[in-house]
Structure 1
């Protein structure tokens, strides 16, 4: 028989909500920073403890409530008016502003206001993504912050003053994707990592990039004249890909031969302007890198013209090239860069195919026992990746064999 008397009442179970509420305010502020701002504010109805926590979050995510759904700027303007008034001026770790559409100048003013609010709150990482077909124009005012370390921009129109980061001494990471660059210069002495992808410039002058402390660079599919790179003596790795949008096209290009600056019928192959600090557009600035990936569509003359003043790649360890470097009848571009890379250890040629899946992959190595060669004696791996071994590939293989590179078939 069960014992007589009232059994001791069991303690009520501790709910997950109670466990979260037991966390210190500082941790809850951090947790709320991962929520869209609308959801963070709605936590005020959970309990008395939560009523004002959202006002001190360490991050603002001004996006849709659903991670995969963005909202229009006009859908949140009124809400953000109240939020900016009530939110405490605490330091912000991250601010994300993401929209798929904006309608008018009023929307643009609001986005600029929210961006300046983030800077006023000493944000460390700022993301601004607009998924509209156009470009949202940010105010042509310099960013001033001793705290901003990361800036990630998409589909934004950037003008001269904003791209001078002299007043952002902590800026280390800058990403620009599908942006319109209306400036003649991008400059930062503190920048370590720079990524410029699918951006454009309609200027007749090259955008000059000055970032002497840069460690990694990605410049891919720039639309317009190829940007000019100033010396980057600390560079470790760079990927440069000149895509179809590059305007540096030789109008008389024929099977790897460029007309140069002496043919009046081509208005594109012109001498490098006198205001350039070196005779190179790209290669001079990245010549200190240890790892390079240099790709170009056929008919673009920048790399080939740079090779007329080819710098020494004295630290280069790994090099990835595509068929552009092998199109000239005598493969001079490939020979030139190999001869100027004295410590090269690995060469990869991705020929007439796009990765990562290549039908054919061959590996060779440098054989220094046969006779002296003009290329690096440290070259121990040569990879050739293609879809089919045709006459073009066989020509390149024969060329490499002349440099004592042997392949095992």
Structure 2
């Protein structure tokens, strides 16, 4: 057989679109992971792909990450056409991210959010990386399908923060947002994160989330939010940063001059208008795990401790150096006394983002235990950069409970 005949007798290879042969619902899901512009461009691949983009289960409008610069002006026309031509199918996810907007762009973004809600979105993300806040004006959020809401760089007004119309909402993340409303409320919320947010109100924002399971309140600017009772709470991570307005300019070593009277113009009264003496600690007293940190001079924890609740379920507690500033270590002593089932205590005294140079682990040296500390306490750790006088004071304090330390 000649080489030519051998070549002609070889089986013919027919190009097939194996991905395009997949069922529509799988292709709609796959396209939902692409930016909207890329998903639309798949219409030129083949006749099979011509209309698939119109029924994707997700929309990703703008950039895929923080580094990709997107201006609302540049995508307005595309998004408007996209929403007009899309089939009215349900959406699992909608993600909108941009880096710059103008004043007349706000109505467009508000309209995109309305479109997402109308199409039963379950996970909604809106990230604005511009220096100015983008406001969701007069936009009450009512959806029987929304489960997760993630907002960054957004201005939030009163009507938006009442989530009674979102009975399935479980996760709410607010990052670098400006909060103008007086109350954040949800009957269904389980996970709440408020990070680097701010408020100019002359009263405390009230947080009402009775079934909350986890809470993060990190570096809030303004009066510290008031936490209502959260009986199902399991974990809370609270950091009171330098922009907190609960500050006494005469603060000294854990004692603020308004502790026993209300004469200092820098101190807030010892009771707020919500009928509770505790701003934070009362609301989170049912938690099993707590991380409590505060900048020097931010006395909100010390103020709450004057009316310290019992942490009846608390098993893990992490505190920073703030709790060890007072000469008599009264803040540390009070919270330990009111944590009857505590199993693990960690004290840290180093800057955020650093790794400690010194780690010490403590254990009981005898079976005799003081009633002033939990009989269930098994692990005590102290982490710091240097063993200074503050750390030595803490070690002496804990040694009074027959806890001895070793270096690691």
TM (norm. structure 2) is 0.96
Question: For 2:64 and 2:12, how far apart are their aligned partners in 1?
Answer: 37
Could you list the structure 1 runs, at least 4 aligned residues long, displaced by more than 3 angstroms after superposition. 1-7, 64-68, 352-356, 370-373
What is the CA distance between 1:343 and its match in structure 2?
0.7
Task: Give secondary structure in 2 for the equivalent of 1:95.
Answer: strand
What is the CA distance between 1:371 and its match in structure 2?
4.9
Question: For 1:87 and 1:5, how far apart are their aligned partners in 2?
Answer: 53
Q: Which consecutive residues of structure 2, in runs of 5 or more, have no partner in the other structure?
A: none
- The equivalent of 1:254 in structure 2 is 252
Question: For 2:277 and 2:365, how far apart are their aligned partners in 1?
Answer: 35
What is the CA distance between 1:263 and its match in structure 2?
5.2
1:78 aligns with 2:77: yes
Q: What is the 5 A alignment of 1:37-76?
A: 37-64=36-63, 68-76=67-75
Task: Give secondary structure in 1 for the equivalent of 2:18.
Answer: helix
1:119 aligns with 2:130: no
Given that residues 209 and 230 in structure 1 are in contact (C-alpha distance below 8 angstroms), is that contact kept between their aligned partners in structure 2?
A: yes
What is the CA distance between 1:13 and its match in structure 2?
5.4
Question: For 1:189 and 1:277, how far apart are their aligned partners in 2?
Answer: 21
What is the CA distance between 1:4 and its match in structure 2?
8.6
- The equivalent of 1:264 in structure 2 is 263
Question: For 1:242 and 1:369, how far apart are their aligned partners in 2?
Answer: 37
- The equivalent of 1:365 in structure 2 is 363
Residues 404 and 43 of structure 1: is their aligned pair in 2 closer, same or farther, counting only changes over 3 Å? same
What is the CA distance between 1:11 and its match in structure 2?
3.1
Question: For 2:156 and 2:169, how far apart are their aligned partners in 1?
Answer: 17
Given that residues 190 and 211 in structure 2 are in contact (C-alpha distance below 8 angstroms), is that contact kept between their aligned partners in structure 1?
A: yes
Question: For 1:191 and 1:226, how far apart are their aligned partners in 2?
Answer: 20
Question: For 1:281 and 1:66, how far apart are their aligned partners in 2?
Answer: 36
Question: For 2:4 and 2:257, how far apart are their aligned partners in 1?
Answer: 106
Q: Tell which deviates more after alignment, 357-366 or 152-161.
A: 357-366
- The equivalent of 2:128 in structure 1 is 130
Residues 65 and 213 of structure 1: is their aligned pair in 2 closer, same or farther, counting only changes over 3 Å? closer
What is the CA distance between 1:352 and its match in structure 2?
4.0
What is the CA distance between 1:301 and its match in structure 2?
1.4
Q: What is the 5 A alignment of 1:5-404?
A: 5=5, 7-12=8-13, 14=15, 18-64=17-63, 68-104=67-103, 106-260=104-258, 262=261, 264-273=263-272, 275-404=273-402
Considering only aligned residues, what root-mean-square deviation do their CA atoms show, in Å? Answer: 1.7
1:30-60 C-alpha deviation (Å, 9 max, x unpaired): 1111111111111111111111111001100
Question: For 1:267 and 1:380, how far apart are their aligned partners in 2?
Answer: 40
Residues 295 and 65 of structure 1: is their aligned pair in 2 closer, same or farther, counting only changes over 3 Å? closer
Task: Give secondary structure in 2 for the equivalent of 1:255.
Answer: coil
Q: Which consecutive residues of structure 1, in runs of 5 or more, have no partner in the other structure?
A: none
What is the CA distance between 1:277 and its match in structure 2?
3.5
